[in-house]
Amino acid sequence: MRFGAWPSVTNPWAELAEECRHIERAGWDGIWIGDHFMANAEDNSGPWQESWSMIAALAALVPRLRLGTLVTGNTYRHPAVLAKAVAQADIISGGRIVLGIGAGWQLNEHEAYGIPYFTAGERLRRLEESVQVIRSLFENDRTTFEGRYYQLKEAPLAPKPVQAHLPILIGGGGEKVTLGIVARQADEWNVPGPPEVVAQKLRILEEHCEREGRDPKSIKRTGAVLVAPGIEAGGLGRRGGFVTFNEVRDLSELARSYADVGLDELIVHFDPRRPLPEREAFWSAFQAEVARAFRG
């Protein structure tokens, strides 16, 4: 099982750049960046750096790791504009980018910036069309697309990504619709939740894949956990669907449980409010105390 680090773009750029360099030195497999414009809270005044410009910058700073979004909100950008940014980041990285994308969910961002929110069903239908548009732009000289929501006419995308098939990760666990989109469109998938919930979602994804005539093992499966010392007394907690732990030592058994249910990658987020030296110590300790047991 691989391990990806999920640092926070709420911290200043210079600090985040140093943190990501440390993550690479510590031996992590990838860096994942959230895609939001503001906090999902009553007080949304704090800084929140834009995800794809950050990834492009990190692509030039960390030469080894995979880099991706967890996950881009589809409603925030037209798919052709997003495809252009992703392709450029892949070029800068030399072919290490993963496009993580989801339907979009954070209502306060849409309201603050005047971005149409749509119904849940419409957001999901737009997501599937968007992935089709992006994939076509990546892999064809010209794209003509006549969808319900997006229309392109002889649209070019040049230069192309370095990767002949740039991986697209779809985030979400909706069992009726989202997992069907994953089965049809995704190279990778991310879902929050404890191992038993992930196992349930995997079974349903396999059913969707069977209906689509697709091998479910062709979709790489990722999950995520949050580590927030002192926030959830007693170790194990729940926040926003994620499993939350207090300490590195609590994560070894959890990581093994995720591997046992079939995850290919576990993505770990550490409390961004902690000072940089403490965050760097965590990234190193996790590799030394948890990840090493999974190295071949």
Over residues 208-219, the pLDDT tens digits come to: 999 999 999 999
Which residue range forms the structural domain that includes residue 238? 2-294
Q: How many CB atoms lie within 10 A of CB 293?
A: 11
Residue 250 DSSP one-character state: G
Q: State the Cα–Cα distance between residues 168 and 4, nearest whole angstrom.
A: 16
CA distances from 68 to 90, 205, 285 (A): 10, 22, 23
Mean pLDDT of 158-178: 97
Quote the CA–CA distance of 28 and 271 in Å, as a whole number: 17
Q: Supply the pLDDT for residue 238.
A: 55
Q: Are 283 and 16 in contact (CB under 8 A)?
A: no
CATH number of the domain to which 171 belongs: 3.20.20.30
Tokens of 126: 């737009």
Say how far apart CA 67 and CA 45 lie, in whole Å: 27
Say which DSSP state 239 is in.
Answer: E
Average pLDDT, the chain: 94
Q: What are 224's strand-pairing partners?
A: 267
Distances in Å between the Cα of 98 and the Cα atoms of 61, 66, 184, 276 are 17, 7, 17, 26
Where residue 241 falls (left for φ over 0; alpha for ψ -120 to 50; beta otherwise) is left
- The larger pLDDT score, comparing residue 248 to residue 63, is at 63
Q: Do residues 220 and 168 make contact, with C-beta atoms less than 8 angstroms apart?
A: no
Rounded mean pLDDT, 94-112: 97
Q: Give DSSP secondary structure letters for 209-220.
A: HHHHT--GGGSE
Q: How many domains does the chain have?
A: 1
Task: Spell out the residues 6+ positions from residue 52 whose beta carbon is closer than 8 angstroms to its own.
Answer: 35, 69, 72, 82, 85, 86, 89
Query: Is the predicted pLDDT of residue 231 greater than 80, yes or no?
Result: no
**Model confidence over 243-290: pLDDT tens digits?**
677 778 878 999 999 999 999 999 999 999 999 999 999 999 999 999
